[in-house]
Amino acid sequence: MVKPLFTDVRLTKKSSPCGFLTVKAKRMTKKVKLAYLVSHPIQYQAPLLRRIAQEPDIELTVFFSSDFSVRSYKDEGFGGVGVKWDVPLLDGYHHEFLPGIRENATVGVTRPLSYGILKRLRGGKDESPFDVVWVHGYSTVNAMHGILAAKALGIPVLLRAESWLRDRERTGLKLAAKHLFFKFLKQCIDGVLPIGTLNSAYWRHYLGDDFPQYLMPYAVDNHYFQRRSQEAIPHREQLQKELNLDPSRPVILFASKLQSRKRCEDLLTAYLNLSPGPGQDPRPYLVIVGDGEERAALEKRAADSGCSSIRFCGFRNQSELPGFFDIATIFVLPSRHEPWGLIVNEVMNAGRAVIISDDVGCQPDLVTDGVEGCIFPAGNVAALTDALQRALATPETAQLMGRRGLERIQTWSYEEDIVGLRKAIAQTTGKIIA
């Protein structure tokens, strides 16, 4: 596990079956009221919110600015394909949708825009104010509205975001403006919840080494993906037939949006480099799951190559992905500017080797080159080709990497999230979480 400079709170294990962390001080008599402000229901976050809601001493209320993701909508990242998630986004935790002003099924600086958060945080005649506010992101009007509303009410604020220093280059003027903004932001928040090593470094850079940090890892529902991967095994042959795959040949899997920053074209080039000779297909298959503006160009290039072992599967919903993980030998994410890459967590729960670029944010925390998979410099097709060859050197090579990945992901879970969140609440509110 990553060991950045996090604030230390004196915590001990209770001798109870649940093993909840408590501070050595007077016991609290009522639940801590936690408000979480986020733009819209997010498929990756819903299981974590359900897990937090199970804590007996935390009363969680989630405030959404929009409900577009629970309706059928068109995701421009998937090339305008209609998306309706097939996993529950709202079950198992208390939530409210704030009244909206501006919303068009996208997320941006001024979208979605809502109001009413100040009133809800303050509470009413028969309702006490919230004890602490957790805000997702800081670069939107709504997020700053929530932060300032909590500040005005004297409610501690915890901030979580995906930002990292490698994100993109900025001019000197923009960097100066950003430093000024963070001087202001630092006065409005009480702690940050870093998702991993690179995000922690970002907070230290802009907020200082002494600003409170509480590790809240970017995790997925490990139990769900491990279970679904096991459930996919009896259906493996059916999916292989559907895709016309020879079970004796390895499978290289890509599953993400087909956008330029995902660099699927680099993978396609590296894959074709595996051909043993002119007019001959590489031994592995390349299976591409996802949709987006790059799909037509990728399909044309694949067709022009004359290679018959490339499969384009289009957009597949969340519950379908474990079946593709199951038929994969290795998974590849060659992205640039990828703040984390939660699909890497998902694949590791299926016990599959992963190859990722060094511009994928989860790399320092989840993947060591040659151990759980391979790392290569983003945009370097020759290095990606070499990584594919290393991971596919023998069937046992990829299998061993996959087993190591499954071991490593066990310690990057929602349980670590709960520990970090509880420490943050205990420290910033001064209230004991019993």
User: What angle, 0 to 180 degrees and rounded to 10, lies between the N-to-C axes of helices 381-391 and 395-409?
Assistant: 100
Q: Do 419 and 377 share a structural domain?
A: no
Residue 119 lies inside a defined structural domain of this protein: yes
Q: Do 243 and 151 share a structural domain?
A: no
Asked if the model's pLDDT at residue 11 lies above 50, the reply is: no
Asked if the model's pLDDT at residue 80 lies above 80, the reply is: no
CATH code, 254: 3.40.50.2000
Q: Is 270 exposed, middle or buried (0-12, 13-18, 19+ CB in 10 A)?
A: buried
Q: How far apart are CA 303 and CA 348, in angstroms?
A: 31
Element holding 313 (H helix, E strand)? strand 310-314
Q: How far apart are CA 123 and CA 272, in angstroms?
A: 61
Cβ neighbours of 424 (radius 10 Å): 27
Return the percent helix, strand and coil in the chain, to nearest 5: 40, 20, 45
Q: What percent of the chain has pLDDT over 90?
A: 79
Q: Do 376 and 418 share a structural domain?
A: no
Q: Do 233 and 170 share a structural domain?
A: no
Helices (H), 10-100: 46-53
Q: Do 189 and 122 share a structural domain?
A: yes
Residue 60 lies inside a defined structural domain of this protein: yes
Asked if the model's pLDDT at residue 330 lies above 60, the reply is: yes
Domain count, the chain: 2
Q: Do 107 and 120 share a structural domain?
A: yes
C-alpha distances (whole Å) from 248 to each of 239, 241, 245, 395 are 14, 13, 9, 11
Q: How far apart are CA 360 and CA 357, in angstroms?
A: 6
13 pLDDT tier (thresholds 50, 70, 90): very low
Distance of CA 90 to the CA centre of its chain: 18
Q: Do 31 and 146 share a structural domain?
A: yes
Q: Do 204 and 263 share a structural domain?
A: no
pLDDT at 83: 60
82 has which bridge partners?
A: 74
Q: Do 256 and 151 share a structural domain?
A: no
Under DSSP, is residue 421 helix (H, G, I), strand (E, B) or coil? Answer: helix
What is the mean pLDDT of the segment spanning 202-213? 97
pLDDT at 82: 56
Under DSSP, is residue 388 helix (H, G, I), strand (E, B) or coil? Answer: helix
φ and ψ of 23, to 5 deg = -90, 140
Q: Do 73 and 197 share a structural domain?
A: yes
Q: What percent of the chain has pLDDT over 70?
A: 88
Task: Encode burial over 110-128: b for 16+ CB neighbours within 10 A, e otherwise.
Answer: ebbbbeebeebbbeeeeee
pLDDT at 86: 73
- Summarised one tens digit per residue, pLDDT across range 139-166 is 999 999 999 999 999 999 999 999 999 8
Element holding 321 (H helix, E strand)? helix 321-327
Q: Do 370 and 247 share a structural domain?
A: yes
- Domain residues for the domain of 339 are 222-409
Question: Strand (E) positions, 5-80?
Answer: 11-13, 21-23, 32-38, 58-64, 73-75
Q: Do 231 and 172 share a structural domain?
A: no
Asked if the model's pLDDT at residue 415 lies above 50, the reply is: yes
